[in-house]
Amino acid sequence: MPFKIEDALRYGFAWIEDRDSLKYILLNLAVQLATGAATILLLLMFFQQYLSLLFMGESTSAAFLPLALDWQEFISKVIMFFAFLIPILIISGVALAYVQALMVLFALRKKGLMPASFSFIKLIRLIIMGIAASLAALFYSFDKTFRVIQWLSLFGSIVSILLIRLSPLFIFLALPFLLIYIIIVIYNFLRLFITEPIFLHEELGIIETLKKSFEITQDEIWNVFLAALVLMVVSYILNQLPLELLKYTVLPMLSSQPTLALIVSSLVAILLAPIFAMFNAFYKVGVYTELLSLKKQSATAGI
């Protein structure tokens, strides 16, 4: 039986039929709104006088703002701002990862798959696994042949770039190496496309999950490529297209009020994000189960 991308895509929207999905969407939305509100409060706390000049229509004052700044005070405020903002963003990132994990667990259960036990430690390991997956894609392919080519192309790129100082002609040597390296990185990311559903479905460690993803996607790279392409298209439709429509319909009417226009576009983006997050969770579980089915059929046929 061939890979059915339409089934995975259909399952990506299966959450619409279940009212329980609303609580996960609202959780995601609450985290994003809280993060946005905290960021705005910090901006007002540290930069209210500067923001009033920039956004309240005082164009003359805004033009002379660089001259009026007490740079020592301004830099100290910037440092304090980021000292408060970074912990907020870290907490927000962990909270969003938690909600995303809940969405994937929800999608797994709705698909009839029993998820692995979930805890705070599992969540932290999930976040670490995401970082590990990115590093593996960039530097360590679990396909031995591709790993050798990846390292050689990366080494060749670095050496060629360093040698450009000796002769600009080395750029023509660097470009093929860079192209090969980029292709392999994309290939690795595709092979790691389903790490999150695997990790939340099975009791596996981080490295075991990455290897399992490579195992399941073995000989299925074009199907995974198609799945990733569909995800990109849906991402554009759900996230970017409404903002583009907003840009050419509502925002021109707010051209005289740039602050309000910024607030409107930001709110729309925040409202759209949880919907795509839910689709992403269900869609990846759909792709994961499709690939699992193919592997089981291959194993059965082999027997």
> In the chain, what are the domain boundaries?
5-302
Is residue 142 within 8 Å of 210, Cβ to Cβ? Answer: yes
Is residue 291 within 8 Å of 198, Cβ to Cβ? Answer: no
Q: Report the pLDDT value the prediction gives residue 61, as an integer from 0 to 100.
A: 46
Determine the Cα–Cα distance for residues 38 and 85; give it in Å rounded to an integer. 8
Question: Phi and psi dihedrals of 115, rounded to 5?
Answer: -70, 160
* DSSP state letter for 239: I
Two tokens, residue 3: 């890979």
From the first residue on, what is the mean pLDDT of each consecutive set of 10 residues in the chain (303 residues)? Answer: 85 92 94 92 80 53 52 82 94 95 95 91 95 94 91 92 83 90 95 95 93 91 93 91 83 70 82 93 94 81 58
Determine the Cα–Cα distance for residues 112 and 203; give it in Å rounded to an integer. 17
Question: Phi and psi dihedrals of 183, rounded to 5?
Answer: -60, -40
Side-chain-facing half-sphere of 279: CA atoms under 13 Å: 18
Q: Report the pLDDT value the prediction gives residue 303, as an integer from 0 to 100.
A: 52
Two tokens, residue 261: 């226009």
Is residue 116 within 8 Å of 123, Cβ to Cβ? Answer: no
- Taking the complete model, does pTM exceed 0.75, yes or no? yes
Is residue 132 within 8 Å of 210, Cβ to Cβ? Answer: yes
Reduced DSSP (H G I as helix, E B as strand, rest coil) percent helix, strand, coil of the chain, to 5? 85, 0, 15
List, in sequence order, the alpha helices (H) in 192-257: 195-201, 206-216, 221-235, 241-249
Is residue 240 within 8 Å of 270, Cβ to Cβ? Answer: no
Q: Report the pLDDT value the prediction gives residue 301, as an integer from 0 to 100.
A: 65
Is residue 39 within 8 Å of 88, Cβ to Cβ? Answer: yes
> Beta-strand (E) ranges in 85-238?
none
Q: Report the pLDDT value the prediction gives residue 58, as an integer from 0 to 100.
A: 44
Q: Report the pLDDT value the prediction gives residue 167, as an integer from 0 to 100.
A: 81
The residue among 103, 55, 23, 80 whose CA lies nearest residue 259 is 55
Determine the Cα–Cα distance for residues 260 and 84; give it in Å rounded to an integer. 25
